[in-house]
Amino acid sequence: MSTDMWVGSWRPHKARGPIAAFYNSPGPKYALPGAIGIQFHDPRKYKAPAFSFGTRHCSYSTNCSPGPGYLIQPNITRTGKDGTPIYSLYGRPKDLNLFQTPGPGQYSPEKSGKSAHYSAPAYSLSARSKGFRNDQTPGPAAYILPSVLGPRTVNKTSAPNFILTGRSKIGSFHEDLQKTPGPGTYRVIDPCAYKYKPPHYSITGRNSMPGDTTRKPGPGAYSPERVTISGGKAPSYSFGIRHSEYVAPLIVDVLD
C-alpha cells in the first residue's frame, strides 16, 4: 500500500482489546441460570428433590406466654403450695378506749315532743305538689265571649240583615263589548272528525332508474408501461446509506 494516502503520523493498528461497537449482541451481560438451589434453577438441568422447613403457624406468630415478667414464689410446687406454716410479725395494737356513758345532765326530757306525751292535733298549709307545677290552667281573662251583634251570633237570635253589593259590569249599560273574542279566536274543527273523510291524493317525488352508481376509472387511470408481471423488467440500482460500526445508538430517554 502506498504511503502517499496517509495524512499525519497516525497509522492503523490492531485493537488491544474488544470494542463494544464491534458487537451487536448484549454479550456477557446476561448470566446463565445456575444449576444449584431451587430459585432460578436451569430448566435444562436435572433438579433433585428439595425439602424445606415449614413456616411458623399463624397461631404461634403472636406471643401468648407471660414471659419472664412474672416471678413464681418458691413455695409453689407442681401440686400447689407446700404445707409449711408461715408466720409474720404484726404491729402493736392500740389500747381500747373505755365507753363514756352520758350522765343525767346530757338528756333533755322537755324536748321529747309527741313521743313522750299526748298533744292536740295540728294542721298546716302544705306547699303545692309537683304535679300542679306544670298545670297551666287559663284564667278568666283568657276567654272571650261571642258577640251578640251582627249576623254571626252563636247563642242569640239575630234579625235579618241586608247588604248593598257592588254594581256588576256583565249585562249593564257600561259593559265593554270590545273585550268579546272575535271569530278568529275559535279553532275550526276539521270536518273529517264528524263527517265522512274524502279521499286524499299527493304528488310523490321523482323516482330514478335503478343502476350502478359506483365511480369507474377511465382509460387514463391505468399505466401499462409500469406493469412488470407479464414482461421483463430492466435492472434498477439505488444508492445506499453509509454505515459505520462505531455509530452510537440514538438515546431517547434523557434524565433531567
pTM of the model: 0.15
Letter for the amino acid at 213?
Answer: T
pLDDT of residue 80: 80
| pLDDT at site 92 | 81
pLDDT of residue 4: 61
- φ, ψ of residue 33 to 5 degrees: the values are -65, 150
Please give the pLDDT value at position 59.
58
Per-residue pLDDT at 255: 61
DSSP per-residue codes, 168-181: P-TTSTT--GGGS-
Using CA atoms, how far apart are residues 186 and 208, in angstroms rounded to an integer?
Answer: 46
| Grid coordinates given for 21 | 461497537
- Name the burial class of residue 41, with classes exposed (0-12), middle (13-18) and buried (19+) by CB atoms within 10 angstroms of its CB: middle
The pLDDT value recorded for residue 244 is 64
Q: Which residues of 222-236 are buried (b: 16+ CB within 10 A; e: fewer)?
A: eeeeeeeeeeeeeee
pLDDT at 25: 66
pLDDT at 67: 63
Q: Which of 12, 24, 11 is nearest to 247 (CA)?
A: 24
The CA radius of gyration of the chain, in Å to the nearest whole number, is 64
Give the residue ranges of the chain where pLDDT is below 70. Answer: 1-5, 20-30, 56-70, 131-135, 240-251, 254-256
Mean pLDDT of the chain: 77
pLDDT at 248: 66
Which pLDDT value is given to residue 161?
Answer: 79
Q: Are 141 and 149 in contact (CB under 8 A)?
A: no
